[in-house]
Structure 1
């Protein structure tokens, strides 16, 4: 397994284009350090407000919220919701409304299957209706009772009627009765989402000299190609970019402009993939440029994308200069072993393993 991983990464880290260059030759600062309290507080406030309103309707036990691999949108005074499990390929549309519940479910099913591909057009922290415009995100990922893609409202309405007549389920919760339907995505739903972003990944790969397979693997690990992904850490979109850390670095070091991206900017898939790939470029060419072995650098930049450069170095020594020396004294397989067994954060240990595992499935030119 170790030899396979090493061979894979050695083959994938080479590039053929010239990315943007940095003029800074001073010792680089450390990226990916603990997220600022203000950033955490801002996203926590949004989640807290949503939870407060939704729990009034659903109760503590039945409350569900969005995460990196799950999208949850509340509607109708928080009494109705769409819950999308991107890993399992399941969509649950539910309501606890006791006033015309079937009408509420019908409307929510239509809005869910036709929800726009651009996440900026959806307010996931409110109960406002989903505005139906542009290409539906689930086009090709969800089909109706006839096996046909759902692109227009007339077909979505007919599908909703079919689901309510044939697939309606109910259960008793503390707040009363809940009615719901389960919609199964097509078997290749993940591949369908991958294909939506193939041109963006290809462009970002060429722009920053980052392998397409690595970008795909990071997206799959971070969000399962869920463009609506949001976390309590304040990370947004497909590559889960945090505005005040990775986002600010990209703006300042690559885009050469002050400030940091907004969440609206990062919810745009093109901006998100560009920013995530640019941050990988920063890790590779700036923060971890002193890692001499290309495979060791590859492992380190993947680990740093999740746990910060400081976490990578702390794996080898408490003193950062000594840590870099110690890292370079190890073989790539020893670096991999250290980062997957001795990294200070358990999540970062698993993260490197996951990304490398997924990267095997995304060889250049696959999509």
Structure 2
């Protein structure tokens, strides 16, 4: 799988776009990626699972995994076909309600349950489908925002580059937990918990390619926290905060950062900011631990929920949820600033993954 089956019409690569079916989305849209221009051409869509808001692609098998961000919470695997996707097996419970993120860690699938404030781990069967039962870690705690932080809200879970640790980002408790899998059951167990500034609502994080620096993006305040990462000890240490949007400007819409990605060569960092509806660029020329604001551009739509950078680092893609489209950008190789090059309509788009 992976090789030829992950290629779209005309030999180009594929992009997979998640969406909220409950808001008029088509489920998971498959699009061909034109190599010379980065342009997307929609091939097909499947609504085999409800509200597949976040996706993850297995690079070795080519299988695509999706959450079903519903109250019951489910995960499912899809196999690429000629111009689309086929559900590998019926969706299974994710182990938490309202799952917003998933990732692969060896032979297990990890899912973050936002509504339930949980992180779960599911084994993968020989054919790659997720199998139960899920092993669940329940987060504990709250934050000062009574509407958004009344209890834990796990928003992201992913392994570190070494594969030894699992990091879970919790918007409700203003913290990042570093976990290890139970050797007998695979259940995540808390190793350390890093407290971040109260009320900032951490949402997502990204590793720098050197694996020694982590960037945590906050949703409730437009901030980026730069952290040192010690993979030997499994410890995350905040060292600096950098604003990603103006705060308190008169008449300006409130900013809700959503996604952070780092260029493959480690020279640039991009953050999507909803409300302001921008893509913000940081230069890392002064070092991974010293992001410097380079500029901001319009996201090409409204409410950019996710970003993806292609393996070459030459193009960036933004999934704009409220305007229902995916915009692609050409990246200036000197400044890192993206320039909008086109867009494709995808109703209620929430996530974009490049195959």
More strand by percentage: 2
TM-score w.r.t. the length of structure 1 is: 0.27
TM-score w.r.t. the length of structure 2 is: 0.28
Which structure's relative contact order is higher, taking Cα pairs within 8 Å and 6+ residues apart? Answer: 1
More helix by percentage: 1
Q: Which has the larger radius of gyration?
A: 1
